[in-house]
Structure 1
Amino acid sequence: MIRTGEQYRESIRDGREVSINGEVVRDVPSHPMFKPLVDIRARIYDMQHDPAHAHLMTYQEGDETSAIANRLPLVQADWWDKRRATDAILDTVGGVVTRVGDETVGEMWSLFDGQDILNDVDPQFARNIRDHIHHVLHRDPFHVSANTDPKGDRSRPPYEQDPDMLLHVVRETDAGLVVRGAKYETAAAYANQAFTKPTIADWGDAACSDYALGFICDLSSPGLKFLCRTGFAGRGAPEDYPLSSRFDEIESLVVFDDVLVPWENVLFYRHTRAAQFIRATLHRYSAFAFVQRLLKQADLLIGTALLSVRQTGLEGRSAVQEKLAQLAVYREGIHAHLTAAITLGERSPAGLLMPNQSLLYAGRVLACGQLPQMMHLARELCGGQVCLTPDAAAFRDPVSGPWLQKFYATTAANADGTGAEDRRRLLALARDLLNSDYAGHRLSFALFAQSPPFAHLAAVYRSFDWDGPLAFVRQAAGLASPSPSDEGSSVSGDH
């Protein structure tokens, strides 16, 4: 059943070993670095019970109410429902949050599509993935994803360096697998479980490998240690940093110090084919929510830039309109790919409805690849005051305040019924969105959160229908039809 925000908070008060900036965290929900995102995740849980949002956030199956985000997508309407629910969340919290569960639960659906592969090694693994999908639907945990490893010496295979550099099995027991190593995981310190899986493609010379391992990790398990980066919350006054004070999602290096993974949580093990399958198909569903977040990021860029030029009376200039139009084209390009991916959805091997793979992956390349340029366009439109404006305390100071009120109250702003304080507030948001440490962190995160750019393009290469253009050119050029052997060598997509 759907949980409340308070039930979620209590679920992460489980004695887990969390440290940040050299400090041992005694209570994650109340710690100032974690509290802003814990509160947002709790607010999302409470939205499921709020009559104003419940119809967007939940669905009824028999006597049970479940979260739309966790529902298996079977028909096109399921994707529209998911899209509306995500929009409602981001609109309500007033910003973009990436790791709240809906964007990672889809990764398990990808493995659900690979049940025949899991059955090759052990039918129990296919049953386990079905059980865990059922668990998410009916228990409503905060589910995240664990992919990225500490890099070590990447010129050497894992078995030629410290064996603990990459997560691996150290022994089997009657109760399950004992694993050791580490993973980077966003939000793990305040989540309930993580789909933990390998990122490397070089499994060594053997068909089986102790590194080819996928499982659901209970984040309250003994032996886990969460070594977190210092957050941005608290570094400056919230009125000066309105985004980083509320929306910073803390990453952890999660150390597995001989952690027991019960057999019922193991999804594949010593099965390189399953590991390769999940890496090739991991984002066939989860990329949708990820790209939708970037659509909301585009809205933030457009709204910030447009308000700024209106406050300063520049919207009527053609050069300004051209830059605003470029931002709009970027935004509408993402919107078009998401819409088309739903409309032209494809049936998966397990009977689910996938977003059209070629369109979804192409939309991800567009959204990620052009994001740095679009941020710079918004920076240009906001002008140099973004990096020059004093903090809020200076506007309240009896000595500096009157001068700042004078010079920040523009004619155009006053005509809109706004003044220096509204100008300061907008510039503070623009600084946090475009120029702050947080802005740079979020940009890097967007570029790598679903694998690096080359992997984004590789996904497009695998999913694009190359046969259509080839046939068109063969006909136009009067070329002979391909032989059966040529057809067999053509690129196959992830359909």
Structure 2
Amino acid sequence: MTLLDTPAAARGLLTGDRYRAELDDGRELYLDGTRIGNPAEHPAFRPAADELARLVDLQHDPDHRELLTWKDPDTGLRLARAYQPPRTLEDLRVQRRSAEFWHAEALGQQGRSPAFMASIAVGVYDFRHRLATADPRFGANAEAWYRYCAENDLVLSHALGDPQIDRSTDPVDDPDLALRVLEENERGIVVRGAKQLTTLAPLAHEVLVYLSASFAERRGEQFVVWFALPLNTPGLVTLAREPLGGESWGHAHPLGARYDEQDAMLFFDDVLVPWDRVFLLRDGQLAREGLGRINAWSAYVGHIRYRERLRTLLATATLVAESIGVDGFRNIQEDLGRLAGYAELTEYFLDAAEARGAVTDGGLFAPGDTAASRVWSAEVAGSAVEIVRRIGASGLLIQPTAGDLAHPRLRPHLDRYMRGKGIDAERKSRLFRLAWELTGDGFGQRQDLYEYVHRGDLARNRINIFRRYDQSAARERLLKLVAPPSVTPQEGQS
């Protein structure tokens, strides 16, 4: 069965139970040298899978159904709101409210939420007519894949980055540096290589693979390919990194347990990609054009998620300051004001994206360009975390565990010396451990690094903004100002 045949097999909105069951699909997934069966049942992945299951179940809650889902007029199926192609500004704003709800539930910690990845599938759908200019099959494939994902409410991942082997060498000289097409045959294309930092791959149904912008201009055509595959495709090997949830020290890791999305390496061991799964092939110019186009909505959803992360950091910093009686100090209020300003600015960026939105040549309403605000977000991410760290200071490093709090010899000392202002030792411990997890432990450091790298190469993004920024009017005014004055013949003789 091809993707073009799938409407009759559509399963509609995902449920938590169905999601867990569908992860048991025979994929070749490894963690710490061991092959994993169903990741939803493995202790390293189960808490995050359960949290995703909880969130998708909210789509069926009568209180949230209208916000989180929509009815496709073509099929009559009720689908996830994130998969709705926005055709008007109001459609886009409804998607914003839906994404705001999701990311508030996840405290802004899910960078690769299903809402984020669904918006990239919408982008592929919007770009289908341009893909069809290279090959009519590719445009039809893109539309069919989008419908397949939407009508089955699939959880997606995407793979862009190449292995960090030798970035000074061109892949043409060392083909292992990038995923490449080995051959084309009557069934499809065969690819070999790897992709790194494929976030959420161990917990996703499918992966979308497309060309990384970092190397788009210096590759041979065999490296230019877009396609999508189920993560249980034969020859596709997923290597998960070490989990960041930490040991189960009682209340120590509430975020890492729920929201460690798992980053992974994908190894393509001569994988056959059927023709109906190929969207673009050997066309670097079209690939470069498409990179920005298909990510227009995901960049917008990414800002929604980042705003919620900033709100979480601000609320945590405020509670920590209050718990030790420093919230009235001028320097602390200044720090909290800076963090509040960051959160407020993300709201402005979202409003600006909507105000600058327009209908694309694919027929959808796309947010305006968000490149400068994405660069700003990466630039302030470390500062936002540092504010929380600075307010908590040394208290972030030593807080009692659940076992310490339960010990009769220790508890009197904890109640006397590790309490806070109007807060007992246990509650203060939970709060400070949450702050540490956001900013200092493995999970917090991963989240901080993610904010810096996931929007792409920062230097390249700055250069691209500079190159396309229209300076013509300002340049003309300045050139007139510094031009030598005109001298008439009479003035020259006097």
TM-score, normalised with respect to structure 1: 0.89
Residue in structure 1 matched with residue 427 of structure 2 by the alignment? 422
Question: How many angstroms apart in 2 are the aligned matches of 1:454 and 1:78?
Answer: 34
Q: Deviations over 1:297-332 (max 9, x none)?
A: 111111111111212222222222111111111111
CA 1:356–1:93 in 2, change beyond 3 Å: closer, same or farther? closer
1:389 aligns with 2:399: yes
Gaps of 5+ in 2: 1-11, 485-494
Task: Give, as a single letter, the amino acid of the residue that structure 1 aligns with 2:96.
Answer: R
Residue in structure 1 matched with residue 40 of structure 2 by the alignment? 29
CA 1:391–1:166 in 2, change beyond 3 Å: closer, same or farther? same
Tell me how far 1:47 sits from its aligned partner.
0.9
CA 1:51–1:177 in 2, change beyond 3 Å: closer, same or farther? same
In 1, are the aligned partners of 2:200 and 2:264 still within 8 Å (CA)? yes
In 1, are the aligned partners of 2:23 and 2:40 still within 8 Å (CA)? yes
Matched ranges for 1:334-349 at <5 A: 334-349=346-361
Question: How many angstroms apart in 2 are the aligned matches of 1:257 and 1:178?
Answer: 9
CA 1:86–1:437 in 2, change beyond 3 Å: closer, same or farther? same
1:409 to 404, 412, 419: 419
Tell me how far 1:56 sits from its aligned partner.
1.4
1:288 aligns with 2:300: yes
1:5 aligns with 2:16: yes
Secondary structure, counterpart of 1:268 in structure 2: strand
Question: How many angstroms apart in 2 are the aligned matches of 1:393 and 1:204?
Answer: 56
Task: Give, as a single letter, the amino acid of the residue that structure 1 aligns with 2:95.
Answer: K
Question: How many angstroms apart in 2 are the aligned matches of 1:462 and 1:144?
Answer: 31
Matched ranges for 1:364-403 at <5 A: 364-403=374-413
Residue in structure 1 matched with residue 138 of structure 2 by the alignment? 125
The farther-off stretch of 108-117 and 335-344 is 108-117
1:313 to 319, 325, 331: 325
In 1, are the aligned partners of 2:108 and 2:305 still within 8 Å (CA)? no
Residue in structure 1 matched with residue 449 of structure 2 by the alignment? 444
Tell me how far 1:84 sits from its aligned partner.
1.6
Residue in structure 1 matched with residue 488 of structure 2 by the alignment? none
Question: How many angstroms apart in 1 are the aligned matches of 2:419 and 2:177?
Answer: 56
The farther-off stretch of 130-139 and 256-265 is 130-139
1:262 aligns with 2:274: yes
Question: How many angstroms apart in 2 are the aligned matches of 1:72 and 1:459?
Answer: 28
Residue in structure 1 matched with residue 492 of structure 2 by the alignment? none
Secondary structure, counterpart of 2:94 in structure 1: helix
Task: Give, as a single letter, the amino acid of the residue that structure 2 aligns with 1:2.
Answer: L
CA 1:300–1:468 in 2, change beyond 3 Å: closer, same or farther? farther
The farther-off stretch of 87-96 and 290-299 is 87-96
In 2, are the aligned partners of 1:95 and 1:247 still within 8 Å (CA)? no
Residue in structure 2 matched with residue 71 of structure 1 by the alignment? 84
Question: How many angstroms apart in 2 are the aligned matches of 1:203 and 1:374?
Answer: 34
1:90 to 80, 103, 106: 103
Tell me how far 1:211 sits from its aligned partner.
0.6
Q: Deviations over 1:427-463 (max 9, x none)?
A: 0101101111211111111111121212332453466
Secondary structure, counterpart of 2:215 in structure 1: coil
Task: Give, as a single letter, the amino acid of the residue that structure 1 aligns with 2:310.
Answer: A
The farther-off stretch of 211-220 and 346-355 is 346-355
Tell me how far 1:376 sits from its aligned partner.
0.9
Question: How many angstroms apart in 1 are the aligned matches of 2:103 and 2:219?
Answer: 46
Secondary structure, counterpart of 1:136 in structure 2: helix
Question: How many angstroms apart in 1 are the aligned matches of 2:479 and 2:80?
Answer: 49
1:190 aligns with 2:203: yes
Secondary structure, counterpart of 1:158 in structure 2: coil
Matched ranges for 1:218-297 at <5 A: 218-297=230-309
Question: How many angstroms apart in 2 are the aligned matches of 1:262 and 1:386?
Answer: 52
CA 1:278–1:386 in 2, change beyond 3 Å: closer, same or farther? same
Residue in structure 2 matched with residue 101 of structure 1 by the alignment? 114
Question: How many angstroms apart in 1 are the aligned matches of 2:138 and 2:63?
Answer: 40
Question: How many angstroms apart in 2 are the aligned matches of 1:103 and 1:462?
Answer: 28
TM-score, normalised with respect to structure 2: 0.89
Cα-Cα RMSD: 2.3
Task: Give, as a single letter, the amino acid of the residue that structure 2 aligns with 1:164.
Answer: D
Q: What percent of counterpart residues are identical? A: 27
Question: How many angstroms apart in 1 are the aligned matches of 2:470 and 2:376?
Answer: 18
Q: Deviations over 1:352-400 (max 9, x none)?
A: 222110xx22221222211111211121122320112232322221112
Q: How many residues align?
A: 470
Gaps of 5+ in 1: 480-495
Question: How many angstroms apart in 2 are the aligned matches of 1:465 and 1:140?
Answer: 41
Tell me how far 1:235 sits from its aligned partner.
2.6
Question: How many angstroms apart in 2 are the aligned matches of 1:7 and 1:476?
Answer: 68
